[in-house]
Amino acid sequence: MLTEDNRQSLIQAAIQAKEYAYSPYSKFRVGAAFLCTDDTIVNGANVENASWGGTICAERTAVVKAVSEGRKDFIALAVTSDIAVPISPCGICRQVLREFCTLDMPVFLVPVDYPKKDAKDGGILEMTVGGLLPYSFGPEHLELPRQPTGPQ
Ligand SMILES: O=c1ccn([C@H]2C[C@H](O)[C@@H](CO)O2)c(=O)[nH]1
Ligand SMILES: [Zn+2]
């Protein structure tokens, strides 16, 4: 369950995860952390590559770490970087989140100066997976009946 306590732990885990970012090219560190139903946390950082297209964002690092260990029971995500505005997942990460998370799953976008003085919720921008990727395509669409004109 998402309590105030484990929400705080999740935010701290995302901040901590940033420490292991490998970002020599952009020099932009990102940390992400998932809260799972059993209150455990799986984190990740961005991992860049000399061939830039090989770069993996923090959010996908965390998803792939978790799913490849048999964990898909996500209930919240926190993401943070080194800038004083909340950054939000890129388009590819949004689609990957969509695969494994419910559309109403909360996503906490955390500025580096959290908790920001006098800002609502310390400056956190709270979104949902569905809010980040409206009208999305997902696994259930592949289960719908097809017109018989397509490949059988
Ligand atoms: O939500 C985001 C946005 C950017 N990055 C990474 C990718 C790249 O390493 C660096 C600059 O885009 O930040 C993430 O990990 N997550
Ligand atoms: Zn991304």
Q: What is the pLDDT of residue 149?
A: 81
Mapping DSSP to helix (H, G, I), strand (E, B) and coil, where does residue 111 land? coil
Question: Residue with the nearest Cα to atom 7 of ligand 1?
Answer: 57
Q: How far apart are CA 104 and CA 55, in angstroms?
A: 28
Neighbours of ion ligand 2 (CB under 5 A): 57, 90, 93
- Domains observed in the chain: 4-143 (3.40.140.10)
- Asked if the model's pLDDT at residue 152 lies above 70, the reply is no
Question: Residue with the nearest Cα to atom 16 of ligand 1?
Answer: 57
Tens-place pLDDT, residues 89-113: 999 999 999 999 999 999 999 999 9
Mean pLDDT of 49-71: 98
Mean pLDDT of 135-139: 98
Query: Which is nearest to 77 in space by CA: 48, 99, 44?
Result: 44
- Asked if the model's pLDDT at residue 150 lies above 80, the reply is no
